[in-house]
Amino acid sequence: MLWFLLAAQLATVGNQPCQECHRNISRNYAKTEMASNRVNCEDCHGPASLHIQGSDRLIVPTALEGSARDSVCGQCHLKDAIQVARVGRKASQYRPGAEFGRYVATFVSAKPAGPVDGLQASKCRQKAGADLWCASCHDVHTGKTEPAAACQSCHTAQQCKRGPDCARCHMPQADHRIIRPGRAPVASTTWQLRPFSAVDRGTRELGLAYAEAFARTRDARQQAEAVRLLRGIAKPDIAVRTALTKLKAFQK
């Protein structure tokens, strides 16, 4: 019985049925860039086959904690980072509410790969913690971006009187770091990778990430690190063995 319920819950229904009961959100959302890129309500709220019958509540991302909440946007907006599927898992198995890192581990370098790790590299986020996240500035249902209101929820008008368009001066790069103008940290190019979050750890995954990084850069240090990590794995699966074969071919 439980199995039936779970299976039914996993079914997606698309955006059409939502219009009947969520008229405004549906109408606004249809005009956004994400909608035209075929991002559906259920990509952020979870499968809705039971919800539309009135028998289930959906995920509201804002109500999730830390990494599970950030995963809702991170499942798509971390693609420029290096991502490695865990054994027997793939990205398409992820559902909002879970931690994406349990399906696919993400590794980043010092230079931000996009909005998600860029924001994470900001002092605001590091000091204020999880209060600052994607939806602080982006209303995804309308496609509107209002950074100033978010800035002012933490910073007072006294701290800076240089004008209302905070993002123009403090977020000049597309990578989403909030900076002190003129003191933008030079994005250091390092060969080293680190797990995007605590959930993204794993020796096998890190080793495979270095192998992928090496394939992109041909940096011998990444190659050596990949070989070192992958050789240390007691029971190498097919992905590990394939990667080692490829790495060794380049070692000659």
**Which of the residues 57 through 86 are near ligand HEC (CB under 6 A)?**
57-58, 60-62, 72-73, 75-77
Question: Which one of the spans 30-38, 99-107, 186-194, 219-227 is the region binding ligand HEC (CB under 6 A)?
Answer: 30-38
Within 8 A by CB and 6+ apart from 252, the residues are none
Q: Which is nearer to ligand HEC, 14 or 232 (CB)?
A: 14
Residue 214 CB, nearest approach to ligand HEC (Å): 26
Residue whose tokens read 């496609």? 143
Q: Taking a C-beta distance cutoff of 8 angstroms, is the pair 70, 125 a contact?
A: no
* Degrees to nearest 5, angle at CA 72 with 142 and 200: 150
> Per CB under 6 A, does 190 bind ligand HEC?
no
Question: Which one of the spans 86-94, 99-107, 157-165, 243-251 is the region binding ligand HEC (CB under 6 A)?
Answer: 157-165
CA neighbours closer than 13 Å in the CB half-sphere of residue 180: 4
Give me 83's structure tokens. 């991502």
Q: Which is nearer to ligand HEC, 39 or 224 (CB)?
A: 39
Q: Taking a C-beta distance cutoff of 8 angstroms, is the pair 117, 172 a contact?
A: no
> Per CB under 6 A, does 223 bind ligand HEC?
no
E strand or H helix at 96: none
**Among residues 91, 154, 184, 198, the one that binds ligand HEC under rule CB under 6 A:** 154
At 163, the amino acid letter reads G
Binders of ligand HEC among residues 113 to 132 (CB under 6 A) are: 115-116, 119, 123-124, 127-128, 131-132
